[in-house]
């Protein structure tokens, strides 16, 4: 830990910087204080990556998924801003040395510590994999040591960096000694690649040397492909045999993370009275804690600590989650009976997922069990505020309720009273229909409810060859569902557009996509399907495409360089299209004719969201941190209709009667939902 220099900013986002923790290929890492007074490790992306569009797109996607990772051995992602000039991500701070530091300074670990290390790493990988992520760069320097167990950091970052300026200029991301053979060849990379890296980290802890010895990258990669790892430092017995299988060249011969847990959970562990770490490592942790206290003591006091919205006196999300994590970790390290570790006492993955062997018609509440969100995940009653990113706000048909979808919540609110009335498990994509159906996409499957979260009517995709769903759209009668999927069922596959017949629960059509979608919706009558993409990696184009829902024929296409977005009118006859944040078109869906909206008053702002009044006569823009009033257009003429003081964010929802608009205000990393009356655009309700 090093003090801040004159070149370091006093704060990043809402977080005040206290000290430098380190730097690397990705950028700098700081110790920071959050708005509610807790500590976090804040990683700021270096400048050349910040200018790489491909990295930004992937980083945003990985952060979105990483925020769903919840477990005692994975520090939570508590805040992030992929759109900042220098993108950043903040995680819980763990005041301990890395495994690399510990072994280099105090030597190899004893057998008992190796067992707990292996179990903790397996539990971390199980949590990461259950969220749809792979680590891709698990190594001793990405493993922090704490009394509650090993803590795996930087999961998902390697995926964001692949193919960026770092790798294109010959700088590899990752450590050759811990890279799996399939990562070297680039073929068939699955979560089992992380298991190979786990085995290498345990070998390092046992003997102080990488699994294939020291040497240059080329020589080491050759050994990874052809040589056997050095297992001699591992104690003879079940652990050595298991690590040997983890290091198998053929991934199909390796156990997965859950299998490792099952195999080792019954073995004796070190006495709870002495902890799991060697004494010298515990002293290192004490030293790190001392450095932290010094940084806190030297904290700049010229800027008052902003508690942020909803933070005064209440129990914050972080504080509540810390109690959950500490209790889970303490339970995990208690010896039962003959010394077996009670790993079943740990929390499950991000959600209790549907049984992968069950059919899509699994009844809610049956033996398969209804999914429940992770503790502290939803951001409603548990947290007292909305954390993370906000994606959509959708009014119910009668206008009495507001559906809120973000990285920390998927919930329904009585917006007048500011009270939550329903809550759904977290998702990557969600669609609320006026008729009361809800569809969500969560990587391997899609779930559909009718009338509320207590009535799930379908689980799709579990037994199909396709997968990695991250988008869902339903027709109003819920007869058809559309989703973006992967053509090979993995995150590396090419994107495709699927449509499902809800009665038979079967895929009825598949179309290739030119890029990854960020928005998908049916017109109200279900006759057309509209999707919008972003431009991944700065190559090719972004698009908004209108398809004939029955035939799959492309009816209209609107292209840009960076991104596209759209909003449909209530009768489905028109839509507004946003291209490259600076061009807004009104589209007649009957013939594809367009009218340009006047953008002369945009100034320095960019438009990130568009919305339409129900009759299509008024179009609204949403900006990020607007420096001027929101642009509102009369769509018949394209002229700006001035509304003094109206500021709408990049999240907008319009009620079916056109009388109310919902938007968000984000301060200090937390979001508040505001509802405005369209007669005078005054705020009539606010909740968080």
| 351-369 tens-digit pLDDT | 344 443 333 333 333 333 3
Give the whole-angstrom CA distance, residue 43 versus residue 160: 14
Read off the pLDDT of residues 586-605 as tens digits, 9 standing for 90 and up: 999 999 999 999 988 776 66
Among 51-55, 147-151, 334-338, 379-383, name the most confident range.
Answer: 147-151
Inter-CA distances, 27 with 44, 50, 54, Å: 6, 10, 17
Give the whole-angstrom CA distance, residue 173 versus residue 507: 38
* Residue 414, token pair as written in the block: 């009585």
| Helices assigned H by DSSP within 131-189 | 157-161, 165-168, 181-185
Give the whole-angstrom CA distance, residue 553 versus residue 168: 38
**What pLDDT shows up at residue 670?**
65
More confident residue, 346 or 657: 657
Give the whole-angstrom CA distance, residue 252 versus residue 620: 53
Residues 586/619, Cβ–Cβ less than 8 Å: yes
The closest alpha carbon to 155, from 89, 111, 251, belongs to: 89
**What pLDDT shows up at residue 189?**
85
Confidence of residue 319 (pLDDT cuts 50, 70, 90): very low
* Residue 286, token pair as written in the block: 């004490």
Confidence of residue 669 (pLDDT cuts 50, 70, 90): low
**What pLDDT shows up at residue 576?**
95
**659 SS3 class:** coil
Residues 397/434, Cβ–Cβ less than 8 Å: yes
**What pLDDT shows up at residue 299?**
64
β-strands 480-486, 542-548 pairing: unpaired
**52 SS3 class:** coil
The closest alpha carbon to 585, from 533, 635, 531, 521, belongs to: 635
Residues 624/648, Cβ–Cβ less than 8 Å: no
Residues 544/520, Cβ–Cβ less than 8 Å: no
Strands (E), 205-266: none
Give the whole-angstrom CA distance, residue 351 versus residue 214: 41
Give the whole-angstrom CA distance, residue 178 versus residue 172: 13
The closest alpha carbon to 249, from 172, 202, 179, 191, belongs to: 179
Is residue 208 packed enough to be buried (19+ CB in 10 Å), middle (13-18) or exposed (0-12)? middle
Q: What's the rounded mean pLDDT across residues 659-679?
A: 85
Assign residue 580 a region (left: φ > 0; alpha: ψ between -120 and 50; beta: otherwise). left
Q: What's the rounded mean pLDDT across residues 149-169?
A: 56
**What pLDDT shows up at residue 365?**
33
* Residue 633, token pair as written in the block: 């257009």
* Residue 36, token pair as written in the block: 């509610």
With the C-alpha atoms ordered 151, 382, 313, 688, is the resulting torsion angle positive or negative? positive
**What pLDDT shows up at residue 57?**
77
More confident residue, 622 or 638: 638
**What pLDDT shows up at residue 67?**
75
Give the whole-angstrom CA distance, residue 625 versus residue 134: 33
More confident residue, 118 or 3: 118
Residue with token string 């009394």: 147
More confident residue, 77 or 312: 77
- Report the length, in residues, of the chain: 688
**Residue 152, number of CB atoms within 10 A of its CB:** 26
Q: What's the rounded mean pLDDT across residues 473-485?
A: 94
Neighbouring-strand partners of residue 512: 496
Residues 240/195, Cβ–Cβ less than 8 Å: no
Confidence of residue 619 (pLDDT cuts 50, 70, 90): very high
Mean pLDDT of the chain: 78
The closest alpha carbon to 79, from 297, 385, 445, 511, belongs to: 385
Confidence of residue 311 (pLDDT cuts 50, 70, 90): very low
More confident residue, 528 or 89: 528
Terminal CA-CA length for the chain = 36
CA max distance for the chain: 80
Confidence of residue 402 (pLDDT cuts 50, 70, 90): very high
Residues 458/361, Cβ–Cβ less than 8 Å: yes
pLDDT above 90: residue 127: no
Give the whole-angstrom CA distance, residue 488 versus residue 190: 12
Q: What is the pTM of this model?
A: 0.51
**What pLDDT shows up at residue 552?**
94
pLDDT above 80: residue 167: no
**609 SS3 class:** strand
Residues 501/479, Cβ–Cβ less than 8 Å: yes
**What pLDDT shows up at residue 27?**
78
Confidence of residue 156 (pLDDT cuts 50, 70, 90): low
More confident residue, 315 or 413: 413
pLDDT above 60: residue 226: yes
β-strands 583-588, 11-12 pairing: unpaired
Strands (E), 39-87: 39-45, 77-81
Q: What's the rounded mean pLDDT across residues 107-119?
A: 91
Helix (H) or strand (E) holding 600: none
Helix H, strand E, coil C: the string for 189-203 is CCCHHHHHHHHHHHH
User: What does the DSSP 8-state code read for residue 657?
Assistant: T
User: What does the DSSP 8-state code read for residue 274?
Assistant: G
More confident residue, 34 or 290: 34
Tell me the CB-side half-sphere exposure of residue 44, using CA atoms within 13 A.
21
More confident residue, 534 or 317: 534
More confident residue, 197 or 136: 197
Give the whole-angstrom CA distance, residue 595 versus residue 97: 60
Helix and strand totals (H; E) in the chain? 13, 39
**What pLDDT shows up at residue 355?**
42
Indicate the range of 53-67, 150-164, 195-209, 522-536 predicted with least confidence: 150-164
Give me the catalytic one of 36, 79, 81, 137.
Answer: 137
β-strands 564-568, 670-677 pairing: unpaired
Neighbouring-strand partners of residue 423: 411
pLDDT above 60: residue 303: no
The closest alpha carbon to 48, from 165, 171, 172, 167, belongs to: 165
Helix (H) or strand (E) holding 143: strand 143-146
137 is catalytic: yes
């Amino acid at each position: 830990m090093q003090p801040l220099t004159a070149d370091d900013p006093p704060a990043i986002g809402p977080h005040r910087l206290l000290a430098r923790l380190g730097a690397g290929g990705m950028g700098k890492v700081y110790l920071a204080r959050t708005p509610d007074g807790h500590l976090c490790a804040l990683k700021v992306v270096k400048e050349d990556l910040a200018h790489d569009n491909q990295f930004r797109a992937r980083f945003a996607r990985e952060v979105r998924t990483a925020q769903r990772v919840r477990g005692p051995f994975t520090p939570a992602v508590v805040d992030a801003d992929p759109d900042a000039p220098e993108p950043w991500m903040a995680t819980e701070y763990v005041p301990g040395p890395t495994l690399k530091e510990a072994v280099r300074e105090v030597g190899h670990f004893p057998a008992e510590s190796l067992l707990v290390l292996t179990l903790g790493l397996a539990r971390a990988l199980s949590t990461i994999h259950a969220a749809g992520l792979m680590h891709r760069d698990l190594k001793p320097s990405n493993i922090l040591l704490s009394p509650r167990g090993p803590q795996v950091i930087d999961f998902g970052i390697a995926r964001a960096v692949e193919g960026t300026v770092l790798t294109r200029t010959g700088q590899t991301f990752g450590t050759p000694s811990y890279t799996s053979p399939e990562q070297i060849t680039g073929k068939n990379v699955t979560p089992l690649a992380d298991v190979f890296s786990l085995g290498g980290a345990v070998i390092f802890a046992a003997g102080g040397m990488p699994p294939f010895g020291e040497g240059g990258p080329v020589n080491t990669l050759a050994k990874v492909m052809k040589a056997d790892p050095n297992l001699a430092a591992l104690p003879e017995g079940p652990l050595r045999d298991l690590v040997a299988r983890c290091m198998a060249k053929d991934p199909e011969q390796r156990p997965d993370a859950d299998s490792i847990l099952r195999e080792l959970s019954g073995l004796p562990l070190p006495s709870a009275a002495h902890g799991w770490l060697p004494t010298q490592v515990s002293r290192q942790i004490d030293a790190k804690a001392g450095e932290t206290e010094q940084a806190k003591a030297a904290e700049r006091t010229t800027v008052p600590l902003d508690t942020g919205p909803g933070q005064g006196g209440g129990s914050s999300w972080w504080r509540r989650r810390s109690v959950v994590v500490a209790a889970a970790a303490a339970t995990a390290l208690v010896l039962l009976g003959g010394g077996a570790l009670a790993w079943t006492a740990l929390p499950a993955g991000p959600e209790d997922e549907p049984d992968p062997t069950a059919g899509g018609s699994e009844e809610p509440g049956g033996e398969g069990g209804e999914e429940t969100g992770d503790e502290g995940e939803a951001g409603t009653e548990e947290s007292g505020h909305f954390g993370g990113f906000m994606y959509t706000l959708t009014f119910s048909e009668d206008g009495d309720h507001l559906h809120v979808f973000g990285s920390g919540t998927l919930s329904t609110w009585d917006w007048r009273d500011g009270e939550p009335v329903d809550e759904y498990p977290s998702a990557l994509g969600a669609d609320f229909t006026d008729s009361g159906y809800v569809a969500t996409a969560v990587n391997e499957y899609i779930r559909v409810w009718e009338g509320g979260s207590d009535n799930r009517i379908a689980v799709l995709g579990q037994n199909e060859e396709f997968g990695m769903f991250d988008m869902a759209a339903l027709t109003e009668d819920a007869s058809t569902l559309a989703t973006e999927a992967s053509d090979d069922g993995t995150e590396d596959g090419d994107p495709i557009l699927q449509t499902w017949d809800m009665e038979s629960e079967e895929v009825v059509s598949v179309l290739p996509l030119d890029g990854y979608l960020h928005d998908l919706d049916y017109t109200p009558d279900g006759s057309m399907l509209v999707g919008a993409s972003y431009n991944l990696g700065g190559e090719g184009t972004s698009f908004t495409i209108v398809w004939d829902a029955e035939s799959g024929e492309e009816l209209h296409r609107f292209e840009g360089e960076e991104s596209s977005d759209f909003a449909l009118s209530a009768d489905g006859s028109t839509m507004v299209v946003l291209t490259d944040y600076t061009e807004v078109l009104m589209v007649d869906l009957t013939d594809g004719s367009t009218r340009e909206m006047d953008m002369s008053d945009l100034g320095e702002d960019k438009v990130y969201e568009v919305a339409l009044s129900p009759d299509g006569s008024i179009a609204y823009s949403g900006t990020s941190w607007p420096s001027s009033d929101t642009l509102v257009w009369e769509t018949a003429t394209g002229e700006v209709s001035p509304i003094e003081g109206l500021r709408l964010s990049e999240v907008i929802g319009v009620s079916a009667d056109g009388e109310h608009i919902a938007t968000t205000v984000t301060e200090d990393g937390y979001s508040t939902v505001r509802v405005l009356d369209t007669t005078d655009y005054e705020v009539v309700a606010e909740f968080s």
